[in-house]
Structures are given as C-alpha cells and as structure tokens.
Chain A
C-alpha cells in the first residue's frame, strides 16, 4: 500500500506513544515499591477469570458487562487484524494462509460487526439511558468514535478491496469468500465507479492506520490507559481482603513521616490504580457515602489524584518533593477523607481491582499521627481507648459488668486457670458487648448459648482490651499497635488457641491483622460457631420467628466471606426462610458505622443507616437480623427514625437464644420452651424448672 508511508506512520505512532507515555512510566517506577509476584498461580488464575474472563463486569452489571466483554474480546481478536493490515502496507496482497487465515477472516468480520453493534449500544447508554454512575466525558466519546471509525473503515476497506480485486478471479477472491460483511459492502459498491472505489480503498486504509496510531497515542493520555494497565493491575492485585490493612512500621527511627502526605507517597500499585481507573463509576453505585450525598466519590478521588499526579510530574521526576502540597486539604478535602466507612464495596465492585480503602486510611494516618488533625469527636475516642481500652473511656474495671445478674456462669480465664480447668474457647466480648447497653444483651445471649451447648468457655473480663480496630481504621496506627500488643500478650500468657467473637470488627482485626504482630489464633465469629453447634446437634432451634430479613455486615460478609452460616441459622429459626435485602451478599449496603464513623457525627447529606433501613422495609420484615453490634445499633436507630417500631432489630445470637430448645431429662426428650430467658436446668428430675 505504501511502505514508506506506513513506516512513517508506525514511527509517528510509536514516537507519540513513547513521548506521552514515558513520563507516566517513570512516575510509576519512582514510587514506593509494593508490586509483588507472590502467589503466582492465584494471580494467573485471577488474570484469566477477571481479566480475560471479565467476570466482575458481567456479574456486576450484566447489560453493560456483556457489552464491554464483547468489545474487549473483540479488541483482542482484532489485534491480529491490525497486524495484518500493517503488513499489507508493505505487501498489499498479504493474508494469513490456509484454513487458519480463512477461519480468522470469518471471525474478524463477525467480531467487527458485533463490536460495532456494541459501540452503538454504548452510545445509546450514554445518550438515552444515562446511568447514574457514568459521567459524560469527552474521553469516552472520543474513544467510542475512534473505535467506530476503526470498524467502519475496515469494512469499507474490505468492501472496496473486494469490489476492486475480488471474485471471481481477483487476488482477493479467496478472502472475500470468507468475509460475509466485507462481501456485503462490496456488493453495495459493485455499481460504483472504479475511481470511487480506489479512493475508498486507499482512503479507508490510511484513515484506519492513522486512527490506529492515534488510538495508541490517545491511550497514554486518557482514562483509556486502562487498556494498557488493567491486565497488569488485575495481575498485581491485593490478594488480601480490604479488611486486612498493612502494618505500618513505627519502629523505623529514620522515618520522617507516617502515612500518605503528598502524591509522592503513593506506592507503585497505587499509581497503577490511578492509571487504570476507567471512570466506570461502579464503585459509586452502592458506596454508602456517595449514595447519601457525602463528598466521597471514589471515582472522583481517583480522578483528582490522577490529575494531580500529572500536574506535578515535573516536580516528582526531579525529586523536588518539598514543592508538593499535602493532599489533605488541598487536593482532597478532609470531609472526603473522613467520610469513608471502609466497607469495601468499592473494591468489590471495581472490575480492575483498584485498592481504595488503604489509600484513604494512609491519608488518615498522616493526619492523625503527624498533624494531630482529625474530627474532634475522635479525640475522646482515642483518649478513652488509650486510658481505659474502650472508645467511651468507661473504667476498665467495669468490663465484666454485663455478666451481673446473668443466670448462667461466665467464668474468667484467670479463674479457670486458677482452678486448673480446661478452656475450649475464649469468648472475646469486645467493647460494644462489654459496655453498650443494647449490645450487652448480645453478650448475655451468647453466654446462654455457649452454656446450653456445654462449651468450656471463658472471658478475659477486666483483662480484655480493645482490639484497636477503630484506631487502625481512623489512622491511629500507634494506638492500634499498642492495643493489639496488649491483647496478644494477654492471649499468649493464657495460651489461648481459639477465639470467639461476637463482633465482626474484632473478628477481622484478630484474625487478619494480629498475625502481623505475632498473634496467631483460630478465630471464629459467633455465627460460624453457632452454625457448627447446630450442625453438630449441640443446640436445636425451633422456628420461633418469621419474616426475618438478614443484613450482611460488611466486616463479616464482604470483607471475610461469611455469608452462608448466618443464613443457615436464621433459616432454622424462621418459619418462612430468610429474606434478602435488594443489595445483599457481597453487594450489601453498609450500615454506616465502619471506619470510625460510629463515633463521629453525620453532618453531611442524609443518614446512611436510614437508607439501609428504607431498603429493608421494602420487604415488610418483622425482624431485621444482623451479626454485628454496630449494625445492630445503626439498624435500631434507623428503624426509630423511620417510625417503623413494629420492626424488631435483633442480633443472630439473640434470635438463637430465643429460639433454642432446651432438652429436659424428665420430659424424656426435647421440650420446646419459648421464653426470653431460658431457665436454668433442674438439678434433679424431681425439681420442676421455673417457667
């Protein structure tokens, strides 16, 4: 077609790509190294399933997911076509030989037709459907137009080619036979003057090549960088859940700062994340803060950081780091940084595995530990945790008071060890269960269940300390490590092997983050244990409830994958199964308390918990069940705010304690007793139980 011209175009394309792309690469390479190749098999599998397989796109939002998948697969398939076209620049009649070439030609035609239809659908979505999560962006339109041009010019090129050089004895006849769409176009062009077709033939070709080169260069400067970086981003993704945050090394004597201050502090994976954000907005759709009109839009966060990165690239590449402004307060507002509940929905929704939560926590770390600049409500919380190991600062000596008046024994571990008794499991109550009035009922219910199941359990009582989850998530890493080290030392001094929690935040921290500090235990959430007890026949439930809807707590479900056990339990306790919120399982909508938000006032936008309760009320439940003390308080307040006081908000432990069937020897089997407080078991068969 024109070897010199094609060579020049290739060079121009390459040069443009390198020119615009090299700085981006340099910015990536200079950042803090955290990209690893560990767990290779898992990473490769992820690449295949999420990258090539487009799994999250398809399952997350099927209509647009399939659209993108087809465009993406089409793009991959058509890489060969692009190569073929370029070779044609040097040798006009080039085609892939044998049946392979024929098969590919057919595939290419169908693919291009499909891609064109999908582009049409994409345009329809942006113009007519206008989904909330999409913003009209110049970049998006440019790319849709470019892809459209590529598909159309290729068909026109083929059409003109077959019209000029096609059957029955032209050199392109063989190809024409396997090219249905191209053939159709050539039929339409059959009656056109030869000059017209020749101009079309050459024109379409060079426009296509130019567009291809332009596209390659455009990739380096737009959100379509994701074409280059998304597969690597998926490959290098964090394999841990967003519930497990990194340990900050506070021992480093030379460290001048902790946490993320300027754009220069972002790590390589975090820079790659910025390049890969395609602005699809899936992170926004159920982000609890975004949906309730708070100024945290992850998409915008990515966007702002990305632009700031590009704006400051000169200073960064020259390592003039003092010139860089602190991100908090300049690029990102503190309201944004503090609005996040760390629920992880955004990370679960993102098709390209961008890490959102650690970045926000790292910004909080600098604000809290270096600047002392954080929402005023947290001051009391930090002081309370430091002094008395709970966010309210209530005297640590009152940590056992929830056991007062309980009719089942709750021994402390210290007592058990002193009496030389066995300990099967440590019940780690947590701050909410120990001090919050509503949640003390959960602890009491769980104590009853453990007793009924005959487990040798104990609590630490006054010796129990706060796990530090709130401290960690609000960026107060030094307080977290202090609290964690205390607990680990305490657990180890009693040789604790198994820990039971009634709070998913405690569960997550002890299970996922204590090992980083040397604390390794088998950790169970009470729904896991209760489910096991039911399956082992240690406790039996009657169907005492009905119209129960289950709210997946973020730190139980999404962060730690525990979905089935709560549902199994509720199924056993309910006459008519378990209802689901519209947003359930990994798409569960946060109650709003995580990330330290429980302790802060919600002053912007509407209330997150009210939104979740509104969603639940759609199903007309009589009970909203959850497995987390924060969720419980949030649901309770939400129900009160919505004046829906006929709906009870209960924890699974309470439901189980209520629905438990206590076997009585004298009744010769299981007798169903449905009371709020199960009576203590009779000592002899002559004594009747108190009803």
Chain B
C-alpha cells in the first residue's frame, strides 16, 4: 500500500506577526510543520505500524521546507519529495491543490492524506479540491483511521451533528483533524535513520506545470490587503462576595444581554 502525505511548512502561529505595507515581516519568523498535516502523518504512520505500506511525504517551497521533510522521515516516513520552486508560495487552496494533484496523479497512491486546514490560512480548501482534481472520493476532518479490509478504510470524522463513522474505498483523499491525537516525537533511532532515507527533488516542469499556474500567480483569489484585526475592548469586571456578584450578573444578563427575551 502506498500513502502520500502532504505537509505544509507554515509560520509558527505562536509568534506575534508584524505587518509592514500589508505584508508580513519575515524577520524573526520561525517555521514549523502545519500541525494538522502532522496529525495526518501520524495517522499514516499508525497504519504503517500495523500494515505493510510505504509512506511518502511531499512538501513544496524553498530550501527551508526540507526541515519539515527531514522531521517526517525521522518520525518514520519512508521517502520524501521536495517540490523545489519558490513560485509555489503565497497561493490559495486552488493553486496548492493543482500542484499536489499534478504530483499525485498516476502514482498509484491508495491514500492521499493531509491536514484538514493549514494553520496559516485556515482555509481547509486543498483537500477536497485535490480529491476533485484526481476524481477520488473524500473524507474530511477524520479523528480515526483504520483499514477494514483490502482497499476499504473505516474512519471516524467530526461532522456538524456529531461524530460519523464513514467507510471509504481506496483510492481516496483523506483530511485529518488535529483532534486526531498527538503526533509521535522522532526518537534518536528515527533521527539517525532519517539521514539514510531518500529526498527526491522535483521541479514544476517535472510535473508539467508552469510558474503561472501555481502560487500567488496561479491563484484565482488575491490577498489585496492585510491589517491587524480590531480587538474587543474590555468591559466591566466586578469583584466582591459571590452571592452579591451573582445578583449583579443576573441583572446584567436579563436587562442588558436580554437572555430571557
């Protein structure tokens, strides 16, 4: 069985972000593997723990994305693919999906997996788009994944009305919720072993793509401005005796917030 896991390198969302002229200031930024994609990798590796399968990881961008690929190899992935071209950056879900689909098609992957959304864009678009471009069924936002029988997988996903048990036949595209569970830490064994694993570099032309089809240039939506969002102002904060405060809160809720309206 072959699984492709798409990993996006994102800005570390724990950091404060500075804007200058509508762009994000690069200085002092740190990058990390998108946490949702890390969960997807963990799901794939859990399958690999039980079954005979090859886990291939794909990331696109400049040199720095090799950090993400190396970490994935240290966690247990078998092979890494680096789509090395800065043109892929800054695109919307559609542009990303096009690049991924171009790589994944005709490679015989049983599952194409990725996180449900990217932590920098929170768009959640790429997964279903890749599924459509590859003509494959999709299951999104899963919190568990196991093989039921050859070519059939059983997943649990979080839907609007509760958890659903969804069965899907391979080949399929699966996006993973970051409630999937903690991803494993690379062990010393893994880190040392990763040095021997292959990292294949591919270019846009290898995939039959032009620079104008990917990244910012290839996006159908454009970010034309960025600003800091307006924060909420603080209101009243009361201290005192519990029962007294409760009374005041009830008054507020009934009169001002109109909860019993």
**Chain A contacts with B in 371-386, Cβ cutoff 8 A:** 371-372, 376, 379-380, 382-383
Asked if B222 is at the interface of the complex by the 8 Å CB criterion, the answer is no
* 15 extra interface residue pairs, beta carbon distance < 8 Å, beyond A388-B14, A397-B28: A258-B188, A370-B187, A370-B189, A371-B187, A372-B190, A379-B185, A383-B185, A387-B14, A387-B30, A387-B32, A394-B14, A395-B15, A396-B30, A397-B15, A478-B191
Q: Count of chain B residues with Cβ under 8 Å from any Cβ of A?
A: 16
Give the chain A neighbours of B28 by CB distance below 8 A. Answer: 397, 462
Asked if B205 is at the interface of the complex by the 8 Å CB criterion, the answer is no
Give the chain A neighbours of B182 by CB distance below 8 A. Answer: 376, 379-380
Q: Is B16 a contact of A397 with CB atoms below 8 Å?
A: yes
Q: Which residue of B lies closest to A372 (CB)?
A: B187
Q: Is B16 a contact of A372 with CB atoms below 8 Å?
A: no
Q: How far is it, in angstroms, between the C-alpha of A379 and the C-alpha of B38 when the chains are bound? A: 13
Q: How far is it, in angstroms, between the C-alpha of A250 and the C-alpha of B188 when the chains are bound? A: 9
* A-B residue pairs, 3 tightest by C-beta: A395-B14, A395-B15, A379-B182
Q: How far is it, in angstroms, between the C-alpha of A250 and the C-alpha of B14 when the chains are bound? A: 30
Interface string of B179-223 (1 = CB under 8 A from A): 000101111111100000000000000000000000000000000
Interface core residue of A258, A370, A372, A393 (most chain B CB under 10 Å): A372
Q: Is A387 a contact of B12 with CB atoms below 8 Å?
A: yes
Q: How far is it, in angstroms, between the C-alpha of A370 and the C-alpha of B191 when the chains are bound? A: 10
Question: Within the complex, what minimum Cβ distance (angstroms) separates B193 from chain A?
Answer: 12
Q: How far is it, in angstroms, between the C-alpha of A368 and the C-alpha of B188 when the chains are bound? A: 9
Give the chain B neighbours of A394 by CB distance below 8 A. Answer: 14
Asked if A331 is at the interface of the complex by the 8 Å CB criterion, the answer is no
Q: Which residue of A lies closest to B75 (CB)?
A: A372
Q: How far is it, in angstroms, between the C-alpha of A395 and the C-alpha of B14 when the chains are bound? A: 4
Give the chain B neighbours of A387 by CB distance below 8 A. Answer: 12, 14, 30, 32
Q: Which residue of A lies closest to B31 (CB)?
A: A387
Give the chain B neighbours of A383 by CB distance below 8 A. Answer: 185
**Chain A contacts with B in 333-391, Cβ cutoff 8 A:** 368-372, 376, 379-380, 382-383, 387-388
Q: Is B16 a contact of A398 with CB atoms below 8 Å?
A: yes
Q: Count of chain A residues with Cβ under 8 Å from any Cβ of B?
A: 22
Q: How far is it, in angstroms, between the C-alpha of A397 and the C-alpha of B28 when the chains are bound? A: 8
Q: Is B12 a contact of A369 with CB atoms below 8 Å?
A: no
Give the chain B neighbours of A369 by CB distance below 8 A. Answer: 187-188
Give the chain A neighbours of B191 by CB distance below 8 A. Answer: 478
Q: How far is it, in angstroms, between the C-alpha of A100 and the C-alpha of B30 when the chains are bound? A: 81
Q: How far is it, in angstroms, between the C-alpha of A393 and the C-alpha of B182 when the chains are bound? A: 14
Interface string of B27-60 (1 = CB under 8 A from A): 0101010000000000000000000000000000
Question: Within the complex, what minimum Cβ distance (angstroms) separates A385 from chain B?
Answer: 11
Give the chain A neighbours of B190 by CB distance below 8 A. Answer: 372
Give the chain A neighbours of B12 by CB distance below 8 A. Answer: 387-388, 395
| 24 residue pairs from A and B, CB less than 8 Å apart | A250-B188, A368-B187, A369-B187, A369-B188, A370-B187, A370-B188, A372-B185, A372-B187, A372-B190, A376-B182, A379-B182, A379-B185, A382-B185, A387-B32, A388-B12, A388-B15, A393-B14, A395-B14, A395-B16, A396-B14, A396-B15, A397-B28, A462-B28, A478-B188
Q: How far is it, in angstroms, between the C-alpha of A369 and the C-alpha of B28 when the chains are bound? A: 30
Question: Within the complex, what minimum Cβ distance (angstroms) separates A174 from chain B?
Answer: 73
Q: Which residue of B lies closest to A479 (CB)?
A: B185
Give the chain A neighbours of B189 by CB distance below 8 A. Answer: 370
Question: Within the complex, what minimum Cβ distance (angstroms) separates A256 from chain B?
Answer: 9
Give the chain B neighbours of A462 by CB distance below 8 A. Answer: 28
Q: How far is it, in angstroms, between the C-alpha of A363 and the C-alpha of B167 when the chains are bound? A: 42
**Chain A contacts with B in 47-100, Cβ cutoff 8 A:** none
Q: A387-B12, A395-B16 are in contact. Are A372 and B184 (CB under 8 A)?
A: yes
Question: Within the complex, what minimum Cβ distance (angstroms) separates A49 from chain B?
Answer: 42
Give the chain B neighbours of A250 by CB distance below 8 A. Answer: 188
Q: How far is it, in angstroms, between the C-alpha of A380 and the C-alpha of B187 when the chains are bound? A: 15
Give the chain A neighbours of B186 by CB distance below 8 A. Answer: 372
Interface string of A613-642 (1 = CB under 8 A from B): 000000000000000000000000000000
Q: Which residue of A lies closest to B38 (CB)?
A: A383
Q: How far is it, in angstroms, between the C-alpha of A369 and the C-alpha of B191 when the chains are bound? A: 10
Interface string of B152-169 (1 = CB under 8 A from A): 000000000000000000
Q: How far is it, in angstroms, between the C-alpha of A393 and the C-alpha of B189 when the chains are bound? A: 24
Question: Within the complex, what minimum Cβ distance (angstroms) separates B259 from chain A?
Answer: 30
Give the chain A neighbours of B32 by CB distance below 8 A. Answer: 387
Q: Which residue of A lies closest to B76 (CB)?
A: A372
Q: Which residue of A lies closest to B181 (CB)?
A: A376
Give the chain B neighbours of A258 by CB distance below 8 A. Answer: 188
Q: Which residue of B lies closest to A462 (CB)?
A: B28
Q: How far is it, in angstroms, between the C-alpha of A396 and the C-alpha of B32 when the chains are bound? A: 13
Give the chain B neighbours of A370 by CB distance below 8 A. Answer: 187-189
Interface core residue of B15, B28, B184, B185 (most chain A CB under 10 Å): B185
Give the chain A neighbours of B185 by CB distance below 8 A. Answer: 372, 379, 382-383
Q: How far is it, in angstroms, between the C-alpha of A371 and the C-alpha of B187 when the chains are bound? A: 7
Q: Which residue of B lies closest to A374 (CB)?
A: B185
Question: Within the complex, what minimum Cβ distance (angstroms) separates A16 from chain B?
Answer: 46
Question: Within the complex, what minimum Cβ distance (angstroms) separates A101 from chain B?
Answer: 66
Interface core residue of B14, B32, B186 (most chain A CB under 10 Å): B14
Q: Which residue of B lies closest to A477 (CB)?
A: B188
Give the chain A neighbours of B187 by CB distance below 8 A. Answer: 368-372
Give the chain A neighbours of B16 by CB distance below 8 A. Answer: 395, 397-398
Interface string of A462-479 (1 = CB under 8 A from B): 100000000000000010
